[in-house]
Amino acid sequence: MKKEDYDKMTIGDIEAEIKFHHSNSVEEKKKFIFGLQYLKHTGRFRENPVYKKSSFANYLLGEYNMRINSFEESARAFSKYPEESEKYGVGMIAKIRRQCGVKKEKEVIEEIKKTDNQIKARIRRDKIDEIIKRNAKKIPPQKATYKELYMTEKYMHERTLERYRDVLQQLKEANAQIQKLKTTIISLRSNEFNSLEENDKVYACV
């Protein structure tokens, strides 16, 4: 359809047109995935001489530029949640499984459907993301690896050595100051003693 054709249409007509073609594309994608699923389970993809001794993953990537994980997520979504996959998208169903886990997957989808039915307009993407986030699996803190532990220990050891060197330098400087004070005190006492001797000699002469 050309720009001039869209110019003559209302926004409602344009959106209806887009949704019509989108629904067709979803149906086409479902057929595409189910066809691939058949080839995978029967092994008939090897009837293609190029992939006679290849894996299905290589066949998928080579022929359709599709990774095995994407295929499996789509196949599972269309098989287990066909209506929801068409309405909310395969990617959304896959996201729910990844973030919320298999056990909570159905519960989260039902919550999304319930929320969707309660509002007049179609549920917004940010609202779906909010439901997913609220039900997402708690990710436990990762344990430090041996390398991380070693690097931390090494850093602490180096910091300790630095502090030790600083303290040692401070002690040396303090000892030097003490020695200077001792020398000064001895010198003062020596001068005082010599002064007293001179005075005694003077008094003796008198």
Average pLDDT of 7-29?
Answer: 74
Q: Which of the residue ranges 4-18, 88-102, 187-201 would you say has the lowest mean pLDDT?
A: 187-201
Gap between the Cα atoms of 46 and 35, Å rounded? 14
Q: Which of the residue ranges 7-11, 62-66, 87-91, 129-133 would you say has the lowest mean pLDDT?
A: 7-11
Give the distance between the most distant pair of CA atoms in the chain.
135
On whether the CB atoms of residues 73 and 117 are closer than 8 A, the answer is no
Q: Which two tokens stand for residue 18?
A: 């887009």
Q: Which two tokens stand for residue 103?
A: 């056990």
Q: Which two tokens stand for residue 150?
A: 């070693």
Regarding pTM above 0.75, the answer is: no
pLDDT band of 31, cuts 50, 70, 90: confident
Backbone angles phi, psi at 89, to 5 degrees: 100, 145
Give the pLDDT of residue 205.
Answer: 55
Gap between the Cα atoms of 51 and 59, Å rounded? 6
Virtual CA dihedral for 70, 73, 74, 80, nearest 10 degrees?
Answer: 170
Which helix (H) or strand (E) covers residue 150, if one does? Answer: helix 146-205
pLDDT digits (tens, 9 = 90+) for 57-68: 999 999 888 899
pLDDT digits (tens, 9 = 90+) for 105-146: 999 999 999 988 887 777 888 888 999 999 988 877 677 677
Average pLDDT, the chain: 82
For helices 125-135 and 102-118, give the axis angle rounded to 10 degrees: 140
pLDDT over threshold 70, residue 196: no
Gap between the Cα atoms of 122 and 112, Å rounded? 11
pLDDT over threshold 70, residue 22: no
Q: What b-and-e string marks burial along 147-184, b requiring 16 or more CB atoms within 10 Å of the CB? A: eeeeeeeeeeeeeeeeeeeeeeeeeeeeeeeeeeeeee
